Amino acid sequence: MGVVVKVPGGWDVPGSEEGWAGERGAGGEGQCVVPFPGPQGTMAEARQAATFRLDLGQGTPGRRWWNPALKEVGSAGLRSWRRSLAQCKDDILSGACPAGLASGLFLFAAIQGSRFMQLDPSLGLVDWIKASLPDWGVRWLPGFQGAVAATIFAGGLWTALLLTLHVVLRLLLRYQGWLSEPRGTLSLPTRSWLVSDWWGEYVYLRSRSPLLGNSNFYILDFLSVAPTPLQAARAGNAVYAMMRFREQLGRGEIEPATLLGMRPLCSAQYRQMFNTTRIPGVSGDRLYHVRDGCSRHVVVLHRGRFFRLGTHGGLGGHLLSPRVLEQQLQYILDDSAPAQPTEEHLAALTAAPRALWAQARASLQAGDRSSKAPLEVVEGAAFFVCLEETPGPSRTSPELDERAQSVLVGTGHSRWLDKSLNLVVFASGHMGLNVEHSWADTPVPSHMWEAILAAECFELGYAADGHCRGTPNPTVGPPERLLWMLPEEVAASIPLALREAQALARDTDCHILPFTHFGRGFTRRCRIPGSSFVQLALQLARFRDQGSFCLTYEACVTRSFHEGRTETVRPCTVEACAFVRAMEDPRLTDAQRLALFQVAAEKHWALCRAALTGEGVDRHLFCLYLVSQLLRLPSPFLTQVRAERWKLSTSQSATHQPQLFDPASHPDYVCCGGGFGPADDDGYGVSYVFMGESMVTFHISCRVSSPDTESYTRAFCPPPLECPQTCPFGSPGLCVLSSQDSRRFGQHIQDAMLDVATLFGLGAGPSTRARPGEAAREASRGPEPQQAPSAPRDLEY
């Protein structure tokens, strides 16, 4: 499948992500621009990195120690060369970069034409090649040797020009020094490193932990508005827009994401966006990808039943219209047939520990055609669609929080977590995306998702009655129901997987905080990078929540490098701690606090620049640890680093693409970002996205069972038989009356944001905690913020 356009697939270029483990302006028309106030992250990676363990099996330490290391280095090199060759072939065939076949044909025609005009642009090389050729058909075709010689020269010249352009672009786009140098100065190109293959291989594919709540992450559509209340219509437009996006990718028509509107980012991850499934293995997983032409359907899950929905039809095999896709999806919603007992909870296997799912899948594969055919349909689908009931507010969570939690974890058996993309559409018309993490980091599916939302709302649209535009096609038959014939060992594994998946789902608490007091416009006037402002506020919020500091993970993408993934920024610095202590010290003035804030912001931005340019430490430590294990040479230092716990995992989601969404004209139609599970069971996961100029949305998660993050109200209730809900603590009569884990931390974040803003003249000082919001709203309409002394240069603006 072709990747992107206009920019060579292998010469793309920066952004950010999450901790040892570890995203994104203004831009021109037709470009996805990565804003640059700091790192932006992929959302769920810190969990995988924090729990990474390398299992080399049994062996005698010190004996043939070089074999594992050389084997892994060789395997990584072979994988890299295979990907590069496949990428080069796809780019040439699609005409993406650096030149398509049409340019080669043009050059060939020009060389041949010059021969007939008695011109020799080869400076004698064509004649030399002709003299070196054997005497083929000279009697019958006198000009044959000359044509062959001209063809060889044209091909060689085209290849040489292509390779020259390749090298020039690589040298041009790999330069990173401008990120940290003063304007007008240059430095040597930033060193690049080749860890990305091992990163995906060991942190993701060899992880044996369940994907549910640990690796997969979610992205939502809009905070409140739904373009249509009809579930099938929303799903029909979304499926059509996603399949059309896939076709545009294949033709190389998608503009690459850029930094500051001029630096393209590496687009290699786009290749596996569609038609990709993570296949479980006993010791390690692998990514299975099929070409677009072999994947012309999606699989739909509704009330435990699986359906194959063909997306192309007619004589030309064209993509079905949104109205016909809606018609097909409505068939599924109207089908009253119940799910079979064995298939209703089948998807829970994808949420099980990977070894358990690998064994069950092997049993499916070993069975007859009736047992493995449905699995092949699922794994060969372009993506997975989940038609869901609308989650409503519970006694402790509003509807928005329930929606986020549903997209992330569902019921434990309502997502096929191995698929690269799970499109979740609710009965209310809202929808979201559950994304498997190993194939890409958050900015890539976010780029696609915002394009889908913009196309669906502003281009495709809906009729006055809420249906997709167009007319149904009664000749199109209903979708095919997939019937699973499960072996006994697979059926026996489902209850085990379901029990663990449901426990993980219940233990995940999500909260969305739309912070509406100010946004990027205020941080711009303060001349403070947006991510630095938020990260220091998060340090203050966490200190107030727990009374201590902790190791903090901030994801930073490194897609300025070929096949770059992520690096870690560590925001909990000595300077940040000094600022937080100053905020809690009533003896200090706001001017003193502001000075400390400025120092901490400068330090944070320096760490961001280092991470973006490949000069971070965590990926290098990861590689050193990996090599030490392969060589069986234990390192106490690296072992200690690996034992560190990331109790606060943070990431900035991709911001909206300004050419697609205008918050001023359509304030409700702005993607509200997404979130992920916490990296540590006793910590918080926080993702945030700047929505326009005056709003920041926070996505917060934690574990319900953690004694550090929980804030249950416990009380003795009537006897268990009269208790309205089951006690999770295992004590008779002791029940949960309220749970505000992530919501409590969300309140701390809001207070911290307002308190930091008071240092710049917004609000009335630290006392805003006593009355959050009111003073801030009045002040936001008042004076301009004070200018911070010695503010760091904000490259985003």
Q: What is the pLDDT of residues 306-329, one digit of tens each?
A: 999 999 987 778 999 999 999 999
Least confident of 250-254, 489-493, 740-744: 740-744
Q: What pLDDT shows up at residue 706?
A: 85
Residue 796: its pLDDT value, please? 32
Estimate to the nearest angstrom the gap between the alpha carbon of 349 and the chain centroid: 23
Distance (Å, whole) CA 125 – CA 116: 16
Report the greatest alpha carbon distance in the chain.
107
Tell me, what DSSP letter sits at residue 381? S
Number of continuous H segments (helices) and E segments (strands) in the chain: 22, 23
Q: Are β-strands 713-716 and 734-738 bridged in parallel, bridged antiparallel, or unpaired? A: antiparallel
Q: State pLDDT tens for residues 557-607.
A: 888 887 888 899 999 999 999 999 999 999 999 999 999 999 999 999 999
* DSSP reduced 3-state for 276: strand
Q: Which residues pair with 299 in a beta bridge?
A: 308, 384
387-401, 493-507, 526-540: least confidently modelled range: 387-401
User: Which residue of the set 302, 345, 437, 699 is catalytic?
Assistant: 437
Q: H-helix or E-strand containing 500? A: helix 488-506
Chain mean pLDDT for the chain: 79
Separation between Cα atoms, residue 18 and residue 158, nearest integer Å: 43
What SS3 state is found at 339? coil
For the cut 80, the answer to whether the pLDDT of residue 641 exceeds it is yes
Which of 25-39, 73-87, 470-484 has the largest mean confidence?
A: 470-484
Q: Going along 352-495, which residue ranges are E strands?
A: 384-388, 421-426, 431-435, 480-481
Report the pLDDT value the prediction gives residue 293, as an integer from 0 to 100.
Answer: 86
pLDDT value at position 571?
95
Which range is least confidently modeled, 36-50, 124-138, 204-218?
36-50
In terms of C-beta distances under 8 Å and separation of at least 24 residues, what long-range contacts does 310-319 make, across chains too?
310/479, 310/480, 311/239, 311/243, 311/382, 313/476, 319/240, 319/243, 319/244, 319/247
| Cis-peptide into 98, omega within 30 deg | yes
More confident residue, 486 or 161: 486
For the chain, percent of residues with pLDDT exceeding 70: 74
Q: What gap in Å lies between CA 647 and CA 703, rounded to an integer?
A: 11
Higher pLDDT, 237 or 95: 237
Rg of the chain, C-alpha, whole Å: 28
Q: How far apart are CA 240 and CA 248, in angstroms?
A: 12
192, 613 contact by CB (below 8 A): no
CA 440 – CA 559 distance, rounded (Å): 11
Q: How confident is the model at residue 111 (pLDDT cuts 50, 70, 90)?
A: confident
Q: What is the pLDDT of residues 652-701, one digit of tens each?
A: 986 667 778 777 777 788 888 999 999 999 999 999 999 878 899 999 99
CA distances 79 to 14, 196, 290, 586, 614, Å, are 23, 11, 17, 58, 22
The model carries a pTM of: 0.76
Identify which has the larger pLDDT, 550 or 169. 550
Pairing of β 508-515 and β 696-703:
antiparallel
258 three-class SS: strand
Between CA 298 and CA 31 the distance in angstroms is: 28
> Residue range 510-514: average pLDDT?
95
CB neighbour burial string for 577-615, b if at least 16 within 10 angstroms, e if fewer: eebbebbeeeeeebeebbbbbbbbbbbbbebbbbbbbbb
Please report the pLDDT score of residue 126 as a whole number: 74
CB 761 within 8 A of CB 775: no
pLDDT at 357: 95
656 is catalytic: no
Residue 59 pLDDT more than 60? no
The predicted pLDDT at position 299 comes to 97
Rounded distance between C-alpha atoms, residue 36 and residue 528, angstroms: 11
The candidate with the shortest Cα–Cα distance to 441, out of 214, 208, 200, 677, is 200
Q: Is the pLDDT confidence value at 186 over 60?
A: no
Give the whole-angstrom CA distance, residue 344 versus residue 649.
34
Smallest CA-to-CA distance from 515 within 653, 740, 672, 738 is with 672
Name the least confident of 528-532, 726-730, 744-748.
726-730
- With residue 112 as reference, give the H or E element that holds it: helix 101-116
